[in-house]
Structure 1
Amino acid sequence: MVSVLGPIASGGEPLPLYSFRVPAGFPSPAADHMEQQISLDELFDIRAPHMYLVRIDGDSMQGAGIFDGDLVVVDRSIEARHGHIVIAAVNAEPVCKRLQKIGQQVALLSENRRYAPRYILEGDELLIWGVVTFSVRSHDPCA
């Protein structure tokens, strides 16, 4: 299940980008290492109105690093191919799954063994709403 949050507005505030990787151990002074300013629009290659955000509901894509409550950035301008993670509607029900195309057979795969593949059968309506390009997760325990 997914919740479409709407289109992304372009022109955000640039943020500092530092030239070093931060170890997950002892802190390092950062002020001397600021390399440039970067905007999240540039980082996520946002080109509104082709891009929109979706909040993920459920654990079926956790093997791909997409967890319950995560935001994903979706690009409608990319043609969905085999192996892409997509936002799709199967018989008007929105889902986030990995697209599998083998010959004429199309399936939507979960990245969690608890969920079976969803094969697209004759009579099913499949609409691809876009390709997932990034996921964003909050690490704030109070959020």
Structure 2
Amino acid sequence: MKNKIKSDGSITAIYKVSTESKLSRPLLGTKVPAGFPSPASDYLEGTLDLNKYLIAHPASTFFMRVGGDSMIGAGIYPEDIVIVDRSLEATNNKIVVAVYDGELTLKRLRIENDKYYLVSENDSYPVIEVNKELDFFVWGIVTFVIHQV
């Protein structure tokens, strides 16, 4: 019986990055306190182009829409968009988009004693030990998550 990745960590759409469009927005030079309130400041630091801030390697970066709830413990929810860089090295504890048995899945990569595991960030889903007999490779590394609050 083959292990199949269930839809809990599925990717529902993949989008190529376009750096042709520019949208710079004002960036305030002061940090917003997340603790006690602070007097407001009218200091403007400059503008911020999100392409430059979020995308280090445009030719190898993609946006992907998340289709399941297996990564909610990492702050990644259904319908979020993850920014995935294919040029980065897959190392222990990185959140990755992997191809396992022909299917895309979003999981945390654990490497222990030369064994690979795909780990959900939701206790409802089991840890998947990568079976060497099945097709497996890391498609890309998640660098940022975009979700509505």
Aligned twin of 1:34 = 44
CA distance in 2, matches of 1:118, 1:128: 14
Q: Does residue 1:84 correspond to 2:94, yes or no?
A: yes
Percent of counterpart pairs with the same letter?
30
Check the 8 A contact 2:83/2:144 in 1, yes or no: yes
Matched residue of 1:78: which SS? Answer: coil
Alignment size in residue pairs: 138
CA contact (8 A) 2:120 2:126 kept: yes
Partner SS state of residue 49, structure 1 = helix
**1:7-22 equivalent positions in 2, closer than 5 A:** 7-11=16-20, 12-22=22-32
Shift of 1:21: 2.6
Gaps of 5+ in 2: 1-9
**Equivalent residue for 2:13?**
4
- Aligned Cα root-mean-square deviation (Å): 1.9
Q: CA deviation at 1:127?
A: 1.8
- Judge which range, 117-126 or 70-79, deviates more: 117-126
1 CA distance for matches of 2:112 and 2:98? 18
Q: What is the aligned partner in structure 1 of residue 60 from structure 2?
A: 50
Structure 1 contact 53–71 (Cα < 8 Å) conserved: yes
- Deviating above 6 A after TM superposition, structure 1's stretches of 4 or more consecutive aligned residues are 24-28
Query: TM-score of the superposition, structure 2-length normalised?
Result: 0.84
Unaligned runs of 5+ in 1: none
